[in-house]
């Protein structure tokens, strides 16, 4: 019992620290990727390639003046950002990152807790997250903020239906609501993933589109459309209150990406079994990156590259060597696959933001109710029929 | 532990429920109602009905209350003004309420004299599979009738709304 509490506390601390760092650096990654899509360097001044920019942003946001306008509804105005960030961080607690690991004689899962209703828990928490945005818009007592909050709640109610329907199809195939067992049913080869079961790529695409809308991302970012609503629901927020909305948005992005990974892409399972050499994929990737960096370091394009690039190359080679150690392989490989799949979906999020323009509001609603929802319902009915016939 | 959690969330539920009535602003009442729904979900969870708890949060605290908040925001409803309070109501309100509650308690005591108290952890059939099996075998007819009832209600709302537009 005591060891359970201690292990849970340690796991909570580790996951919290890693999640917070990821949130800060996800924003750096987003700015860099969008900058390169638009052929400009992006953050470059603070640290090498702007790597310390998140740290500078955190210091800036903490030390900024925390302004509370005199006309707001104070209790709800203070409650809304707190609620938004709480609900966004809560859902990470049921997401499994890997199988059991053994640390100092204690066996534990790479997950905070496994619920037999894990998928429903995430749906419940994410449906509660709307209040943070809606109440922020209302309590600000500002027409732009109110419009942003209204748009956001209407959008989230509409897109939650196709999202739940799209989640239901892989659940029918895997026949469980526990995220851990959901991954267990997809173990083995690539074609055991729910994505490749018949036409399940339809549910995957519906899930991703609805996920974009649920997280208020481009092309569905009408709640914070700058050119019509100033900053939308967080117009009146400054300092850390603004930062908590920002962090909530990124945390929701991570949750949606992890959910897509767990539901459709087999979670931490490698694309093909380990006896056919899937364990060497990260080694080859990191070693290749290291060798490329070393080669560019030998023929430097700029003068300082002859020092920096070899250092980067050696770091990559060390990481590749770490993946070969049998001691860490048992937990590092699943973690690598989980992070690689989640990272790929996160990259798709950023990629879409760099490419697509924003919807018009009537297009947004028409798309949800006239196209996405019927598609999701038909897909669910067809999947249920096939599952009933096969089993 | 269970009893402490029950007491905490039961008190929150009752206080929030009272707050729903006391608050004059509709948004404040709606937020209190979300608190009631949330603490009820925790009570379901304590009783071992995890699926019902999740459904309570998703359907009531999530979907229904978001619609409430949305409509209140859309209509931009202001705070209520207290008016038309009759002298009789303020005089007789509390005694009549207490009498009603006492009468209810007496009837419950009469009808269920040997009721066993609820104990936590005694119920285990609250998972999604047990609920699904019960809904689609034992209670199939009531379940389907309820869904048709909801459909009729939606159609009624559509008909009513259309008449107002014309």
| DSSP designation for A371 | I
Disruptive mutation site among B54, B72, B129 for chain A (greatest number of A CBs within 10 Å): B54
Question: What b/e string do you get for A170-200 counting C-beta neighbours within 10 Å, with b at 16 or more?
Answer: bbbbbebbbbbebbbebeebeeebbbbbeeb
- The string of pLDDT tens digits covering residues A257-291 is 998 888 888 878 877 777 777 778 888 888 888 88
Check: CB of residue A383 under 8 Å from CB of residue A169.
yes
pLDDT for residue B165: 55
Tell me whether A340 touches chain B (CB under 8 Å).
no
The answer to whether the Cβ–Cβ distance between B54 and A117 falls below 8 Å is: yes
Cα–chain center distance at A283: 25
Owner of token pair 């050696």: A314
Assign B124 to helix, strand or coil: coil
> Measured between alpha carbons, how far is residue B130 from residues A113, A124, B49 in Å?
22, 20, 10
| Tokens matching residue A184 | 């267990």
Q: What per-residue confidence (pLDDT) applies to A114?
A: 75
Per the listing, tokens 């922020």 go with: A136
Residue B73 CB-density burial (10 A; 0-12 exposed, 13-18 middle, 19+ buried): buried
Residue B101: inside a domain: no
Q: Is the dihedral of CA A270, A273, A276, A280 positive or negative?
A: positive
Q: Give a yes or no: residue B26 inside a domain.
A: yes
Cβ within 8 Å, pair B69-A135: yes
Mean pLDDT of A170-176: 84
Name every chain A residue with its beta carbon within 8 A of the beta carbon of B127. Answer: 116-117
> Which positions ≥6 away from A148 have C-beta within 8 Å?
A133, A137, A223, A224, A229, A231, A232, A233, A234, A235
Expressed as residue numbers, the domain containing B166 is 127-166
Say how many domains are in chain B.
Answer: 2
Which pLDDT band holds residue A118 (cuts at 50, 70, 90)?
confident
| ipTM metric | 0.77
The neighbour count for residue A384, using CB atoms within 10 Å, is 13
* A281 C-beta neighbours (distance < 10 Å), count: 17
Domain presence at residue B95: no
Q: Is some CB atom of chain B closer than 8 A to the CB atom of A172?
A: no
Asked if residue B1 and residue B70 are part of one domain, the reply reads: yes
| The predicted structure's pLDDT at residue A285 | 85
The pLDDT value recorded for residue B152 is 94
Is a pLDDT exceeding 70 seen at residue A1? no
The whole-chain average pLDDT of chain A stands at 83
Q: What is the DSSP letter of B56?
A: I
Higher pLDDT, A120 or B82: A120
* Domain coordinates in residue numbering, chain A: 66-269+332-391
Q: What is the pLDDT of residue B115?
A: 61
Residue B93 lies in a domain: no
Q: What is the mean pLDDT of residues A363-387?
A: 89
In a domain, B97, yes or no: no
CA distance A290 to A298: 12
CA–centroid distance for B82 within its chain: 25
Query: Which of residues A194 and B144 earns the better pLDDT score?
Result: B144
Nearest to A345 by CA among A209, A247, A189, A222: A209
Chain B CB contacts of A135 below 8 Å: 27, 31, 69
Q: Read off the tokens for A208.
A: 């991703």
pLDDT digits (tens, 9 = 90+) for B92-124: 888 898 999 999 988 888 877 666 666 776 677
Is 90 exceeded by the pLDDT of residue A69? no
Q: Which pLDDT score, from 0 to 100, does residue B118 have?
A: 66
* More confident position, B115 or A219: A219
Of A206, A130, A96, the closest CA to residue B57 belongs to A130
DSSP string, A317-337: HHHHHHHH-HHHHHHHHHHHH
Strands A98-103 and A106-110 come out as antiparallel
Cα nearest neighbour of B49 on chain A? A117
Residue B21 lies in a domain: yes
CA distance A361 to B23: 34
Residue A93 clears pLDDT 80, i.e. is over it: yes
| pTM across the whole model | 0.84
**pLDDT over 70, % of chain A:** 98
- Across the interface, whether the CB atoms of A127 and B54 are under 8 A apart is answered no
The stretch A202-218 carries a mean pLDDT of 87
DSSP H helical ranges for A38-117:
53-63, 74-90
For residue A131, the distance in angstroms to the closest alpha carbon of chain B comes to 7
pLDDT tens over chain B, length 166 residues:
778 888 898 899 999 998 888 888 888 888 888 889 889 888 888 887 888 888 888 888 888 888 888 888 888 777 777 776 777 777 888 889 899 999 998 888 887 766 666 677 667 777 788 888 888 888 899 999 999 999 999 898 888 877 655 5
Say if residue A313's pLDDT is above 80: yes
Last residue of a domain, one of B79, B97, B114: B79
Q: Are residues B131 and B64 in the same domain?
A: no
- The mean pLDDT of A135-158, rounded to a whole number, is 83
Is B66–A116 a contact, with Cβ atoms under 8 angstroms apart?
no
Q: What is the mean pLDDT of residues A301-326?
A: 81
In the predicted structure, residue A196 carries a pLDDT above the cut 90? no
* Shared-domain flag, residues B75 and B140: no
The DSSP output letter for B125 is: -
């Amino acid at each position: 019992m005591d060891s359970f509490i201690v292990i849970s506390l340690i796991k909570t601390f580790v996951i919290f620290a890693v999640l917070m760092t990821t949130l800060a650096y996800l924003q750096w990654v987003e700015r860099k990727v969008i900058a390169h899509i638009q052929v400009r360097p992006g953050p470059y001044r603070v640290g090498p390639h702007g790597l310390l920019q998140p740290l500078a942003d955190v210091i800036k946001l903490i030390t900024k003046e925390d302004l509370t306008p005199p006309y707001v509804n104070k209790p709800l105005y203070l409650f809304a950002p707190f609620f938004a960030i709480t609900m966004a961080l809560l859902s990470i607690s049921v997401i499994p990152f890997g199988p059991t690991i053994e640390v100092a004689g204690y066996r534990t899962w790479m997950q905070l807790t496994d619920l037999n209703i894990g998928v429903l828990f995430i749906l419940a928490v994410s449906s509660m997250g709307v209040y943070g945005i809606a109440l922020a818009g209302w309590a600000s007592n500002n027409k732009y903020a109110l419009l942003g909050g209204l748009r956001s709640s209407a959008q989230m109610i509409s897109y939650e239906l196709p999202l739940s329907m799209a989640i239901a199809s892989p659940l029918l195939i895997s026949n469980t609501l526990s995220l851990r067992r959901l991954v267990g049913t997809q173990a083995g080869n690539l074609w055991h993933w729910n994505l490749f079961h018949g036409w399940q790529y339809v549910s995957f695409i519906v899930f991703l589109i609805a996920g974009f809308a649920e997280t208020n991302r481009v092309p569905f970012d009408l709640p914070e459309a700058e050119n019509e609503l100033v900053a939308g629901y967080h117009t009146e927020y400054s300092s850390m209150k603004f930062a908590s909305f920002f962090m909530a948005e990124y945390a929701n992005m991570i949750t949606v990406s992890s959910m897509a990974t767990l539901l459709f892409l087999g979670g931490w399972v490698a694309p093909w079994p380990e006896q056919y050499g899937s364990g060497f994929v990260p080694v080859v990737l990191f070693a290749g990156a290291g060798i490329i960096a070393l080669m560019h370091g030998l023929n430097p394009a700029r003068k300082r590259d002859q020092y920096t690039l070899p250092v980067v190359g050696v770091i990559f080679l060390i990481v590749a060597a770490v993946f070969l150690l049998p001691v860490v392989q048992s937990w590092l490989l699943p973690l690598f696959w989980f992070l690689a799949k989640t990272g790929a979906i996160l990259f798709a999020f950023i990629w879409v933001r760099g490419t697509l323009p924003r919807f018009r509001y009537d297009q947004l609603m028409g798309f949800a109710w006239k196209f996405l929802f019927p598609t999701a319902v038909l897909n669910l009915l067809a999947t249920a029929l096939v599952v009933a016939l096969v089993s | 532990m269970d009893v402490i959690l029950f007491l905490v969330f039961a008190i929150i539920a009752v206080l929030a429920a009272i707050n729903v009535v006391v608050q004059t602003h509709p948004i404040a009442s709606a937020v209190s109602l979300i608190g009631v729904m949330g603490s009820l979900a925790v009570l379901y969870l304590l009783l071992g009905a995890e699926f019902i708890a999740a459904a309570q949060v998703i359907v009531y605290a999530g979907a229904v209350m978001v619609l409430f908040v949305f409509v209140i925001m859309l209509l931009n409803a202001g705070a209520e003004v207290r008016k038309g309070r009759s002298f009789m109501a303020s005089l007789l309100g509390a005694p009549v309420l207490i009498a009603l509650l006492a009468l209810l308690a007496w009837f419950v005591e009469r009808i269920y004299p040997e009721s066993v108290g609820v104990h936590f952890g005694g119920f285990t059939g609250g998972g999604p599979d047990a609920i699904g099996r019960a809904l689609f075998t034992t209670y199939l007819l009531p379940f389907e009738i309820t869904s048709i009832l909801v459909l009729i209600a939606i159609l009624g709302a559509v008909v009513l709304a259309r008449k107002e537009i014309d």
